[in-house]
A and B are shown apart, each in its own frame.
Chain A
Amino acid sequence: MVHRKTEIMRKYLLFIILIFLCSITVFSQDLDQIVGSLTDNSSPDYANAAFKGTTIVNGQSTEIPGHMDLQFNISHRFGAINQGIYTLFGIDQGTTRLGFEYGLKDIVGLSIGRSTYEKTYDGAIKVKVLRQQTGVKNIPVTVSLYQAVFIKTLKWEEPDRENLFSSRLSYATQILISRKFNRNLSLQLAPSYVHKNLVPTPEDQNNIFAIGAGGRYKLTKRFSINGEYYWLLPGKTADDFANSLGLGFDIEAAGHVFQIMATNSQLMFARGYITETEGKWSEGDIYFGFNIYRVFHTGKRNKKGN
């Protein structure tokens, strides 16, 4: 009888230990579950930085400078490489655009610039109207609207006749739609519209439509390859000019983005590369070039000794 009793006791003890162990494991899982359930999912999870630069190659990306960040842009395209060794493959020549870009509230980007081509000034506003996000709302794409005006400031060819200021103006409107598929791959579509107040002949189009597509793939954290194509919708412009194709890469280093590219467009403002691309890849009318973006923060900054 005594023997039996201890046996039962033993079984009983075993049971208790077993349950105790079970409850401990259940319990430690519980703690993690509890923590997970406490996490606040009400704030949206934005997919930021689809592109490193405010342009992909020549064309605008959906990105704008961060809030109160002032970005200085230097862009340059050399001459065509098919000119051969005489101009050192185009290095002797080139066009330049200098510009500033400023970000407000991570939603609005304002930019001004001047290109050497036809002494063109440009001013633009880019507004992020949708931000790609998950969480409460599921928005699969970022959408930015881009509106630019270009002012040609070359002296009038015939100053004696009546020249209107409006003749100097042209405009570009783009709907930029991008999606960051993962940390490396981002793609963008850009339906675009260009309006020119004055065109050389009555046959030339005042209103030109094009569709742009581009993307980037990050090979390392600070290096990506980029590509971009603008397809002109059929018309006189599409007959006279080429579609813009640009291939390049981004290198990011401490507040700078360097974009180095080969493209058949020599012009660095939207009207130029969308509707006035003259180079043909097949004939070697390719221009090497670069964009350098330097970001300055204009708000307060914690410096040592302050």
Chain B
Amino acid sequence: MIKSYIKKIISVLLIPGMLVISGFQEKGSIYTCRNGQASFQSDAPLEVIKASSKNLTGAINISDRSFSFLVPTKTFEGFNSSLQKTHFNEDYMETDTYPNSTFKGKIIEEIDLSVPGTYKVRAKGKMYIHGVENDRIVRCDLTVSEKKIDVTAAFTVFLADHNISIPSILNQKIAEEIKVEISFSLTSADN
């Protein structure tokens, strides 16, 4: 009887203890990034359009390899004219209605991101652009060093996948397939 009481007491003490410990572990296992870069290029027969944003933010948890990234769509700069940027925000991306583009999910490969090295991984998750969510797998290059993870990735986004419609008069000037490049550095949230 006494033994079982002791066990109960231990379990009562242990559980909050574990919670605290796991809380600590989680804090150390989260890496974040504030000013990541996202750029895109539309390569149409008659015109090339480029724009980029330095406002990509994101976080990754190296203990379960989950991640979440966000770019405020309005922050893209570049374009060939200021009117083109206005059309990007007003007519195509509708940034008043859909302010953010996001990618959330998990790294498929079961790698330990606390070990320095370079890794080629696949990030699987939901890509949310222009109010439409798609399941995507994106290949990424990771360089892990002390308390820092550098990430680069290149992928394409089909306008049709995200319900972005281009007037037929412009289909020689805006590509249906947009090349996207992402690069950012994540640092440990402890710092």
Q: Name A residues whose Cβ lies closer than 8 Å to a Cβ of B.
A: 4, 8, 12, 15-16, 19, 23-24, 27-28, 30-32, 34-36, 38-40, 43, 45, 48-49, 65-69, 103, 106, 182-183, 221-222, 252-255, 295, 297, 299, 301-304
Check A303–B47 contact: CB distance below 8 A.
yes
13 A-B pairs with C-beta separation under 8 A: A8-B8, A16-B15, A27-B26, A27-B66, A31-B66, A43-B75, A45-B74, A48-B86, A49-B86, A49-B89, A254-B170, A297-B83, A299-B81
Q: Which of A24, A27, A31, A66 has the most CB of B within 10 A?
A: A31
Nearest-neighbor residue (CB-CB) of B61 within chain A: A31
Check B47–A66 contact: CB distance below 8 A.
no
Nearest-neighbor residue (CB-CB) of B49 within chain A: A302
Nearest-neighbor residue (CB-CB) of A303 within chain B: B47
Check B82–A19 contact: CB distance below 8 A.
no
Check B81–A66 contact: CB distance below 8 A.
yes
Nearest-neighbor residue (CB-CB) of B70 within chain A: A35
CB of B48 within 8 Å of the partner chain: yes
A183 to B99, CA, bound (A): 13
CB of B191 within 8 Å of the partner chain: no
A49 to B91, CA, bound (A): 11
CB of B50 within 8 Å of the partner chain: yes
Question: Which chain B residues lie closer than 8 Å to A183 at the CB level?
Answer: 90, 94, 96-97
Question: Which chain A residues lie closer than 8 Å to B183 at the CB level?
Answer: none
Give chain B's interface secondary structure class: mixed
Question: Which chain A residues lie closer than 8 Å to B86 at the CB level?
Answer: 48-49, 66
Give chain A's interface secondary structure class: mixed
Nearest-neighbor residue (CB-CB) of B18 within chain A: A19
Whole-angstrom distance from the CB of A300 to the nearest CB of chain B? 8
A287 to B161, CA, bound (A): 46
Check B57–A39 contact: CB distance below 8 A.
yes
Check A304–B48 contact: CB distance below 8 A.
yes
CB of B72 within 8 Å of the partner chain: yes
Chain B positions 72 through 103: 1 when the CB is less than 8 Å from some CB of chain A, otherwise 0: 10110000111111100111001011000000
Question: Which chain B residues lie closer than 8 Å to A66 at the CB level?
Answer: 81-83, 85-86
Nearest-neighbor residue (CB-CB) of B41 within chain A: A302
Whole-angstrom distance from the CB of B178 to the nearest CB of chain A? 14
Check B82–A103 contact: CB distance below 8 A.
yes
Identify A40's interface contact among B8, B45, B57, B80, CB under 8 A: B57
Identify A23's interface contact among B22, B34, B50, B66, CB under 8 A: B22
Check B167–A301 contact: CB distance below 8 A.
no
A303 to B172, CA, bound (A): 12
A289 to B35, CA, bound (A): 50
Question: Which chain B residues lie closer than 8 Å to A295 at the CB level?
Answer: 81, 83
A36 to B72, CA, bound (A): 11
Check B47–A302 contact: CB distance below 8 A.
yes
Nearest-neighbor residue (CB-CB) of A7 within chain B: B4
Check A48–B66 contact: CB distance below 8 A.
no
Chain B positions 164 through 185: 1 when the CB is less than 8 Å from some CB of chain A, otherwise 0: 0001011001000000000000
A114 to B20, CA, bound (A): 76
Q: A34-B189, A304-B45 are in contact. Are A221 and B61 (CB under 8 A)?
A: no
Q: 8 nearest interchain CB pairs? A: A66-B82, A297-B81, A38-B57, A302-B48, A34-B59, A183-B96, A301-B80, A31-B68
